[in-house]
Structure 1
């Protein structure tokens, strides 16, 4: 540790900003002391950004393709097909407990679609029916059904809302256990906002 000795009667002057933080060589040309500010285009669309998403299919919820080993038969072909059709890159790892871990890279919408298709193919699907007041169904559907489509994508589920003519208030959600829970929660939140 370095100690500085001050002579008696002299005032201590702390180092200046420029002394403490000297200009880096590559920025020496812009040593005017001004901060360069970059503007971001407000029209940036998330669909154009590449993302990577990782998720796991537990061994106890895994579907097998006529064999107990992953990577054989139609599993590899299925992943290659999903990669090609969704324009994503899919990496897969299997664990001793037979769980599968997937890493998907691509554009956001493509990654969500690939995840939905992988979960449909490799994870056991369940179905749950929930009762939501008929007059709330239009809020769940959204304009031209877009809210429902978005909800299906983000939860990797299939949600069946009865048609306008059907007087049933029962909505059926099909997907993985986790996906069904997320979808049900979101649907109930939308419904509760209408009360």
Structure 2
């Protein structure tokens, strides 16, 4: 994980331009957050990576943007993501807010937008009820990491993949993430912050 690179702001304290919060089950959301941070650094923006769970009650006001990268597991985001939105909605509204939904459903082209991805649509509706709508929302395909799963996860995910026409060989790892899509998102964030 990348260490935060401090940047001075009003009051003399140090904070990164962009706070990248991740909620990951098997590491792909972390990899996506790191890739975003790296691309933002190329644009001269300083990023700080942290787990969503570690920032539920933190002061987020020193950051110009907050990017939340969260993965789906069995149809649900980590409950800490919704808890963060509930606790931090007022502060999130004052910043450039970005939500990145990471899920295997997005491996299919017709499920790669916030409008066509059921998990993301549901999250955005719940967030709106809590008083926050991200300025940017991206749906990114995750990775299938069978060898890293425990026996039960392996079997359940294999069943889901069988039903949805996905990879079922439990010896394989398949990365569906479109890294160019991730770079484009970082470029859009950098443009918005200029």
Greater Rg by CA: 1
Higher relative contact order (CA 8 A, sep 6+): 2
The bucket for the TM-score relative to the shorter chain is under 0.3
Q: Looking at secondary structure, tell me which structure has more strand per residue.
A: 2
TM norm structure 2:
0.24
